[in-house]
């Protein structure tokens, strides 16, 4: 999953949604965290100039809540 963070993000999202349907919220939240880490790697490959708003909001979300983990 390290070579293509977009694919990893999609896979983590699918697993998270499946776990949510099973009411396994603890593991679903863990996969949400993995999904966001993959998304972070994807955003790092994009320029700040073209994605400022998206990167800014993502950075704030990560800083404040660590993707819901804290």
Mean pLDDT taken over the chain: 88
pLDDT at 2 over 90: no
Q: Is 70 inside a domain boundary?
A: no
Does a structural domain hold residue 52?
Answer: yes
| Residue 21: per-residue pLDDT | 98
Q: Which two tokens stand for residue 27?
A: 């593991």
Number of domains in the chain: 1
Q: How many CA atoms lie within 13 A of 22 on its CB side?
A: 11
Which of 25, 33, 17, 43 has the alpha carbon at shortest distance from 67? 33
Model confidence pLDDT, tens digit, residues 26-51: 999 999 999 999 999 988 888 878 88
**42 within domain boundaries:** yes
pTM for this prediction: 0.78
Q: Is residue 60 part of a domain?
A: yes
- What whole-number distance in Å separates Cα of residue 11 and Cα of residue 9? 5
Domain that holds residue 31: 5-65
């Amino acid at each position: 999953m390290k070579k293509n963070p977009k694919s990893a993000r999609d896979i983590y999202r699918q697993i998270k949604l499946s776990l949510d349907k099973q009411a396994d919220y603890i593991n679903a939240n863990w996969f949400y965290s993995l999904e966001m880490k993959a998304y972070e790697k994807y955003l790092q490959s994009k320029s700040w100039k073209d994605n400022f708003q998206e990167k800014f909001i993502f950075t704030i979300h990560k800083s404040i809540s660590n993707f819901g983990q804290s």
